[in-house]
Chain A
Amino acid sequence: MTPLLQVRGAGHRYGLRHGCRDVDLDLWPGEVLAVVGESGSGKSTLLGTLSQRLGPSEGSIRYRMADGRVIDLGEESEAAVRRLWRSEWGFVHQDPADGLRMHVSAGGNVGEPLMANGWRHYGRIREAAAGWLERVEIPADRIDDHPTTFSGGMRQRLQIARNLVVSPRLVFMDEPTSGLDVSVQARLLDLIRGLVFDLGLAVVVVTHDLAVARLVSHRTLVMKDGRVVESGLTDRVLDDPHAAYTQLLVSSVLQG
């Protein structure tokens, strides 16, 4: 079996300057990979590169589709990538407003991706949406409310439901908890952890917060100046950091 995502020498340039470069990684089903680093380290550029949200990139990014075919994402048409977004991939933005339709009801936000996948039966769509709202702990009586009336944590949980309702195989997350209060963060992390395990999802999560990496990820990449400076098992990287920069990051965490 091949990995879900096989990345070799991946990079992205903004003009002459590299946002990220020379990234190698393999991601398997059920695995959560954290990409950590400070702002400007290239971690969000890497996420954009892997997820094909940024333009042409360097290196190769191979993806194993649900039907078993392995494709090189750089060689696929825009339409093919759009199809992946509709059925096999998800993206959870830091700001839920970027991933939700703020003036559509919560139920509509979750039902819409199903309609895009050809669901037509209104009753079933609503039923599936209600099931997902419950799963992400949004009260059933809020199904017709707009996300504008939701708290930050609820909005983020709604965004996760909107992404997961189509049973994606690969989900990208960009700082999914960093806009939230600490107490709300813990609840969301627990939810993400449970869903990843139950659904066997593969996840790439970008975070500047090492505690998030420790709680949700199996493996961690540490980025600095656009390059991976260290990678490995998450607790190995955090407990026994080898690179000078990782040691600095780990030692900078406030001990609670």
Chain B
Amino acid sequence: MNRTPILAVSGIDKTFTMHLQGGQRLAVLSDLAFEVFPGECVVLGGPSGAGKSTILKLVHGNYAADRGRILLGSGVDVATADPRAVLAARRDTMGYVSQFLRCVPRVPALQVVAEPLVERGVPHDEARERAAAVLTRLSIPQRLWALPPATFSGGEQQRVNIARGFLPDLPLLLLDEPTASLDSRNRDAVIALIHEKRSRGVGMLGIFHDPAVRDAVADRIVDVEAFAPRAGAAA
């Protein structure tokens, strides 16, 4: 295994200041540090509210860190990079599969899934073929492909989201409960996708509440509670 991390997080603090609640400060993470290497799936563990989703959002750049480093294998520090560098990292280095599909309402499912490939320069036809293949694997019937996912059930939307997130070949994938509302057959399909990514050297950082899924995919578990700010500590 390549021993250069694809993601190296160190010294990260995260506090939310809520101005609408009189400037109340909510410290979520203190001195967070962990690494993800190519070809491994690191799972964030800990009870809900411990800051697992916050970590994924910090790495993806949706949340700003108070201090510390979030170093990608490409050398970009997401914690300090300017917006253009973060956008470039999202295009070339890291993908994010969120819990909910967020896209323009009237775009057909096939296009929603193919879009990340097209944006990375893959020809339209090839992108559509690959999108169709992954939708088939995730049991989205062909009659739905031309329809916008907004009309789909929750589970179908989530599978479209997974297809979209897994399709581009990126060295790092962030997974926020990708199996949460899936039946067992589709859960197994997602586990198989994760195993394939891993065998191709992709590093993954994920949240999985389902213990069976977690056991099936986790190479290591990072206990997020170890990075809880101490009560009463000066932020």
Contact = CB atoms under 8 A, between A and B. Distances in A.
Interface of B: 16-20, 57, 61-64, 83-84, 86-87, 102, 104-107, 119
A178 interface: no
B63 A239 contact: yes
Contact of B106 (A190, A197, A247, A251): A190
26 contacts: A28-B84, A186-B104, A186-B105, A186-B106, A187-B106, A189-B104, A190-B104, A190-B106, A214-B102, A215-B104, A218-B83, A232-B64, A232-B83, A233-B62, A233-B83, A235-B61, A236-B62, A236-B63, A239-B62, A240-B57, A240-B62, A240-B64, A242-B17, A244-B20, A247-B18, A248-B20
A219 interface: yes
Nearest to A251: B20
* SS of B interface (majority): mixed
A230 B115 CA distance: 30
Interface of A: 28, 31, 186-187, 189-190, 193, 197, 214-215, 218-219, 232-233, 235-236, 239-240, 242-244, 247-248, 251
A243 to B, nearest CB: 8
Contacts, number: 52
A208 B180 CA distance: 34
A118 to B, nearest CB: 34
Nearest to B20: A247
A121 B107 CA distance: 37
Most buried by A among B102, B104, B107: B104
Contacts of A31: 84
Contacts of B87: 218, 233
Contacts of A189: 104
A197 B63 contact: no
B64 A242 contact: yes
Contacts of B64: 232, 236, 240, 242
B61 A236 contact: yes
Contacts of A247: 18-20
Contacts of B83: 218-219, 232-233, 236
A244 B20 CA distance: 7
Nearest to A238: B62
A244 B19 contact: yes
Contacts of B104: 186, 189-190, 193, 215
